[in-house]
Structure 1
């Protein structure tokens, strides 16, 4: 959480979210990070990050929200079909 708050503070000055993360990582100067730091901006443009974030949010929302509702809807439709299977329907003779 401290790092996230520091990124937000840096972003107020830099006006750029990815640059703020880059600056934070540069200032922390972790030995493993320093080996690949030059690639951060290359591999972490805003679009790259947004594409991954949106895909992740979509996947989670499908699994947590949409699919359970669709499963409930399918079960309800199947129940209606079973409960009303003996009722003649005019359109059932077409096709």
Structure 2
């Protein structure tokens, strides 16, 4: 059960026992919460409840992927080329 959250970049804190109930505690990136919610019924045979609350912002640890395919249209970063394309499209539409 605890390996699934670890695969989703969760960090476990001290668990607690309340009677016959086990209460794991920890932190998980907000982007991965939905994945954990989807996996929880299978991991616990439908007997778990999940509660989450936003705690704080942290810097992103990964890098933004760079597109690996060439553009198929005009590049908006090349202002002159892009504006010429837009002007032609607007002029042709009227």
- The structure richer in helix per residue is 1
TM-score relative to the length of structure 1: 0.24
TM-score relative to the length of structure 2: 0.24
Which one has the largest radius of gyration? 1
- The structure richer in strand per residue is 2
